[in-house]
Amino acid sequence: MKSRLYPIIGIFSLLILQAAVVSAKEIIIPRDFDKIQDGIDAANAGDKVKVQAGLYTEILTMKDGVDLLGEGAEVTTLVALAEGPPSAVLTTANNCTIDGFTITGARGRPGHAVYIKDTSPTISNCIVRDNDYTGIGVHNSKAHPLIQNNRIHNNGGPGIANNYGASATIVGNEIFANERAGIGNVGSATTIKGNKIYNNGLAGVGTISCSAIKIEGNDIYNNSGVEISVLSVRGAVIEVDAVIENNTIAGAGGPPSIICENTSPRINRNIITNRGATGIMVIAASPQIINNNISTDGPAGIYIKSGASPIVERNTILGGGRRGIVGDTSAAIINDNNILETGITQPEERGVPQLQEQLKDQFQNQLQQNINKQLGESSEPAPEPAPALQSTPAAEEEGWF
């Protein structure tokens, strides 16, 4: 005899599903509310707040599970209020998506266009530009955002700043013309993949004391400082799960394309060029440098400072008649490299031009000053944090930031 219980259970489950679908609603701005924040406040988890094209002057705070969807970043603009203390234009929540806006006008330090603290939103298809300081700030160990397919440019600080255990996934963005690092990382575990990062100040990607960092498949070029830097502070060698792999990296002279100090990343299968400067510089570190193509008319393809012990294998280095692997190679493992028009020299033979040494020293001095500021050791007083962001120490916006 067939049980009548199964059809009842099926009908009951269908009713629950239908109720869930019905309960999720769409709120249209400005049809339903004049202000975006009023729409967010009226929404519940699962609801979508859709914003029609226009210019909206507001400071927004998201709610968990509520999506905020603009009609498109080219036509839907969110601008910070013209008065009041420095603050974020938009503060995120968990399990929410912000999509399709231009976000601009954040004022002062440590103001953010988008402020992510201990939350895990998705930020996609937005333009984050012309803010006084940080474009997108990601803070603390519970922050695991996805930041994808955005254009982040012309901000007065870093394009993206990751701090204090945050583990952002940064994919497919165009990050350019920011005054400090394109992407700055301090104590974070960040994945940076498939981005274009160029024409920023200080660094394309800068990291300090990160527990894990993955920099894969990016185009990183023409940044004013180093293209990629992976380092620790206070001279302590920190073993990190750092990977720099399958990137196209083009320096414009000055600092090396990649600097590795007191850390041991895997630097594999990159295409690295630099006009007038070194490809990779290794300082007090033991990285694996394997299967890279390095081309430079600077003093070296790879510069190994005394005390470093890298593994350098199966690289192709084209040095334009200058030197391929330079410096103190006594503790290095060097095998099967294809060095064209160059040679391996010991420190007393290397003849590194004085100008390059001066550039290196100037860069290291500036780097140490930035690190000291990051640690709050600067002789200059740190700016007071804005009331809206009191939980964020002002010092975190220094260093690469």
Handedness of CA 378, 379, 381, 383 (dihedral sign): negative
- The kind and range of the H/E element at 39 are helix 36-42
Q: What is the mean pLDDT of residues 374-401?
A: 36
The label of the residue with tokens 């498109």 reads: 72
* Amino acid identity, position 176: F
pLDDT tens column, 85-94: 667 899 999 9
pLDDT tens column, 34-60: 999 999 999 999 999 999 999 999 999
pLDDT tens column, 171-209: 999 999 999 999 999 988 999 999 999 999 999 999 988
The 3-state DSSP class for residue 184 equals strand
Give me the percent of the chain exceeding a pLDDT of 70. Answer: 76
What pLDDT does 303 receive? 94
Max avg pLDDT among 306-310, 372-376, 380-384, 389-393 = 306-310
pLDDT tens column, 154-172: 999 999 999 888 999 999 9
Residue 394's alpha-carbon distances to 38, 233, 389, 399, 401, in angstroms, are 31, 19, 9, 11, 11
Q: What is the mean pLDDT of residues 111-137?
A: 96
What pLDDT does 311 receive? 97
pLDDT tens column, 203-262: 999 998 887 899 999 999 999 989 999 988 655 555 567 899 999 999 887 899 999 998
The label of the residue with tokens 């970043």 reads: 73
What pLDDT does 393 receive? 30
What pLDDT does 64 receive? 98
What pLDDT does 75 receive? 98
Average pLDDT over the chain, rounded to an integer: 82
- Lowest-confidence region among 10-14, 23-27, 182-186, 202-206: 10-14
Identify whether 353 is preceded by a cis peptide bond (ω within 30 of 0): no
pTM of the model: 0.82
Residues ≥6 apart with Cβ < 8 Å to 202: 180, 181, 223, 224, 225, 226, 370, 400
219 within 8 A of 204, measured Cβ to Cβ: no
pLDDT beyond 90 at 6: no
Closest among 284, 287, 202, 296 to 249, alpha carbons compared: 296
Cα–Cα distance for residue pair 386/59, rounded to 1 Å: 14
- The kind and range of the H/E element at 357 are helix 354-374
Q: What is the mean pLDDT of residues 379-398?
A: 32
Residues ≥6 apart with Cβ < 8 Å to 238: 209, 232, 262, 263
Q: What is the mean pLDDT of residues 297-325?
A: 86
Cβ-in-10-Å burial (0-12, 13-18, 19+) of 230 comes to buried
pLDDT beyond 70 at 379: no
23 within 8 A of 45, measured Cβ to Cβ: no
Tokens of 6: 């199964």
133 within 8 A of 112, measured Cβ to Cβ: yes
